[in-house]
């Protein structure tokens, strides 16, 4: 187990088998604060289109679930 804090949210998108990631949008914002912003549709999440870490844009309503990942991504 690592002490590294995840810097992304993990999202499941309807119709896809694998989860995707959304990077924290502002420096200094914790991943839990980012999750709150996402759920309340604040900041960049007020838009219809959400940018994934891969650079792809998807519609907000296609996101089936969102969570703080339990393990960090490997760089």
10 Å CB burial of residue 2 (0-12, 13-18, 19+) is exposed
User: Which pLDDT band, with edges at 50, 70 and 90, does 53 fall under?
Assistant: very high
Give the torsion sign (CA, 1, 32, 9, 22): negative
The residue-averaged pLDDT of 60-72 equals 87
The residue-averaged pLDDT of 63-67 equals 95
**What is this structure's pTM?**
0.78
User: Which pLDDT band, with edges at 50, 70 and 90, does 61 fall under?
Assistant: very high
* CA separation, residue 47 to residues 39, 51, 64 (Å): 12, 10, 17
CA distance 57 to 55: 7
* pLDDT digit string, tens, across residues 3-42: 445 689 999 999 999 999 999 888 888 899 999 999 999 9
């Amino acid at each position: 187990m690592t002490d590294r804090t995840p810097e992304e949210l993990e999202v499941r998108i309807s119709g896809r088998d694998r989860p995707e990631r959304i990077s924290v949008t502002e420096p200094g914002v914790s991943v839990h604060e980012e999750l709150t912003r996402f759920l309340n549709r604040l900041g960049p999440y007020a838009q219809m289109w959400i940018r994934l870490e891969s650079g792809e844009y998807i519609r907000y309503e296609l996101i089936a679930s969102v969570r703080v990942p339990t393990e960090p991504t490997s760089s």
